[in-house]
Amino acid sequence: MLLEKGQKILAQAKFFLLDVADWLEKALSSLAGLDALQHSDLLAAEALLRLVQRLSPTYAEQRE
């Protein structure tokens, strides 16, 4: 078993979470309209998908 009891993520993975967060933040901060999403529901998920699909080629990796 890789995880200790009560552990949800490996300690090694925690090391990379800040980098992943920064990586996503850069892409998401450029999305005009993201701040308009006020609820977490199916409509918001669809709107987010449309926003992500319009990301510039610079963020192709994040879009995927």
* pLDDT, tens only, 3-62: 778 878 877 788 888 888 888 888 777 777 777 777 788 888 888 888 878 877 887 887
Phi first, then psi: what are they for 39, rounded to 5°?
-130, 155
R_g (Cα) of the chain, nearest Å? 15
pTM of the model: 0.45
Instruction: Name residues whose C-beta falls within 8 Å of residue 52's C-beta, 6 or more positions apart in sequence.
Output: 31, 62, 63
Q: Where are the domains of the chain?
A: 39-64
